[in-house]
Structure 1
Amino acid sequence: MPAQNMMARLASMPLITLACSVNPMPAYAEECVQEKAVYVDMDNAYELRFEPMDSESAVSNKFKLAVRNTALVAEGVVMRSDDQLRADGRIMFECPEGDVTGADLRACTVWQGMVYASDLKGHIRALPAEGESAADRLFLPALGPSIQKSSLWGKGKATVAPWDVLSLKGCNQ
């Protein structure tokens, strides 16, 4: 009998594994709006934390990108295209204040590109706006290589390049 019980348990393992892989984590996105969402890369080296916008502007979302286990924090913004179908993001680190030139902005820009949102099944869409349910994952193409070529990288700074996909970790309250 004990051998039969063990075999029955082992036989059910593929079903349990399948159930866990389809829905590996609680669905934070259903409970969290985008402006409070917190994401991490798969090495847990970076944390991207969205913040509510304080006023009307061309910027649709803002966030901070923290390099874990350091005090480094970069600022990020997202601007929507006129048709609202694309979200252009930018991450900046130690940008000068006040009247700055285009060269100043290029020098402090860590990453720039489209920000894509994804559900757990891999369906890609535009980044949700404020007030909408948070995306399960974010895709920032070439984030890791861009950080390695930026002022955020080096001795005493970031030394691990993040993956381009960040997963929802939780929600700011």
Structure 2
Amino acid sequence: MAAPDCRQASAVYADRDGAYELRFTPINSEAAAANNRFTLKVLKTSIELDGYVMPSDDPERAVGILMFKCPGGDVTGADLDACTIWRGTVYSANTRGEIDNLQPEAAAAADSILLPGLGRAIRQSQIWGNGKATVAPWDVLAFKECAK
């Protein structure tokens, strides 16, 4: 199945080294502030990070946040900062190399996802090291499949 035949909410992406898998899942809430939810799995480990993409304006951007083991319930900004691995603009790219903001979950899946600075952020985080992530991902992840 090609990316355009899949909804963003069901798209699965892989990095070029085969060390990471980014999997979108439906939010299933019209009241949610985010317009995409995803997980980033460090393959060959038990590490899985949670991510969300939210719209912002001035200028209009799809802003993502990637977190690891964040506490639940009432949390402070300091709590969220401590468990945030990466934060930045989430771009989509098509097969012609045209870049855009990542579209909401009901849109056709992007051919590639660009997370600027992801590799550097992972190397500087708590998930990096022996028995953890040992390959820094490229900032571009390519469409792999459409989840059922």
Verify: 1:66 aligned to 2:76, yes or no: no
Q: Secondary structure at the match of 1:147?
A: helix
The corresponding residue for 2:69 is: 94
Verify: 1:147 aligned to 2:122, yes or no: yes
Compared with structure 1, are the counterparts of its residues 84 and 37 closer, same or farther at alpha carbon in structure 2 (3 Å cutoff)? Answer: farther
**1:85 positional shift:** 3.5
**1:150 positional shift:** 1.0
The corresponding residue for 1:53 is: 27
The corresponding residue for 1:105 is: 80
**1:54 positional shift:** 2.0
Which aligned segments of 4 or more residues in structure 1 are displaced greater than 2 angstroms? 82-85
Structure ranking higher on relative contact order (CA contacts 8 Å, 6+ apart): 2
Q: For structure 1, which runs of at least 5 residues remain unmatched after alignment?
A: 1-26
The corresponding residue for 1:3 is: none
Write the deviation string for residues 131-167 of structure 1: whole angstroms up to 9, x where unpaired: 2110000110000000011111122211110000000
**1:82 positional shift:** 4.1
Identity %: 53
Aligned residue type for 1:38: V
- Structure number with the higher strand fraction is 2
Q: Distance in 1 between matches of 2:7 and 2:126?
A: 31
Q: For structure 2, which runs of at least 5 residues remain unmatched after alignment?
A: none
Structural RMSD (CA): 1.4
Q: Distance in 2 between matches of 1:84 and 1:109?
A: 23
Q: Distance in 2 between matches of 1:138 and 1:84?
A: 20
Write the deviation string for residues 31-68 of structure 1: whole angstroms up to 9, x where unpaired: 10100000001001000000001212111100000001
The corresponding residue for 1:28 is: 2
Q: Distance in 1 between matches of 2:109 and 2:60?
A: 16
**1:84 positional shift:** 8.9
- Structure number with the higher helix fraction is 1
After TM superposition, the score normalised by the length of structure 2 is: 0.94
Q: Distance in 2 between matches of 1:83 and 1:172?
A: 33
**1:128 positional shift:** 1.7
The corresponding residue for 1:162 is: 137
Aligned residue type for 1:139: L
